[in-house]
Amino acid sequence: MADFKLDSRLSADTIAIGDSGLCRLLLMDDSRFPWLIMVPRRFDITEVHELTPLDQTVLTFEIAQVSEILKDITGCKKINIGALGNMVPQLHIHIIGRNEGDIAWPGPVWGAGKSVPYDEKTMRTFIERFSSALQQAS
């Protein structure tokens, strides 16, 4: 993990929440959707199959855990999980809470209008709620 460096595009578009066992946890700075990004803290990894079998198992567990917490704290009806990497090759997983009637429903969130950055209070409240729930789950 010492060689881990977050891609500059992910850094520019997100707010750091903290680290889980394997991943750096980020909040996408778009308040229209509860949208987290998980980045395995491994050097030069672009695909899930490049992780060790143990890291693949841990990643699957952490995705499920983060998804459950996101659904619990936001009350969203659906969780979308994706690892595209077309624009940012560094392996990262999007965990997005969705609701019928959101601005992009039922399509993908990418390209659905202009993002709306979080205001400081809402962002801090979300991060505190998420971090507290993650700590209790661990």
What average pLDDT does the segment 44-60 reach?
97
**CATH classification at residue 73:** 3.30.428.10
For residue 72, tell me if it sits in a domain. Answer: yes
Cα–chain center distance at 40: 11
Strand partners, 78: 98
Strand partners, 40: 23
Q: How many domains does the chain have?
A: 1
* Euclidean distance between CA atoms 6 and 41, whole angstroms: 8
pLDDT tens column, 59-101: 999 999 999 999 999 999 999 999 998 889 999 999 999 999 9
For residue 2, tell me if it sits in a domain. Answer: no
For residue 24, tell me if it sits in a domain. Answer: yes
Between vectors from CA 80 to CA 70 and to CA 83, what angle results, nearest 5°?
A: 110
For residue 16, tell me if it sits in a domain. Answer: yes
Q: How much is the pLDDT for 85? A: 86
Residue given tokens 């609701």 in the structure block: 99
Portion of the chain with pLDDT greater than 70, in percent: 99
pLDDT tens column, 26-47: 999 999 999 999 999 999 999 9
Q: Residue type for 97, please?
A: G
CA torsion sign for 1, 44, 50, 90 is positive
Q: How much is the pLDDT for 2? A: 66
What is the overall mean pLDDT for the chain? Answer: 95
Per the confidence metrics, is the pTM higher than 0.85?
yes
For residue 123, tell me if it sits in a domain. Answer: yes
Question: 118 is in which domain, residue-wise?
Answer: 8-137
Model confidence at 1, pLDDT cuts 50, 70, 90, reads low
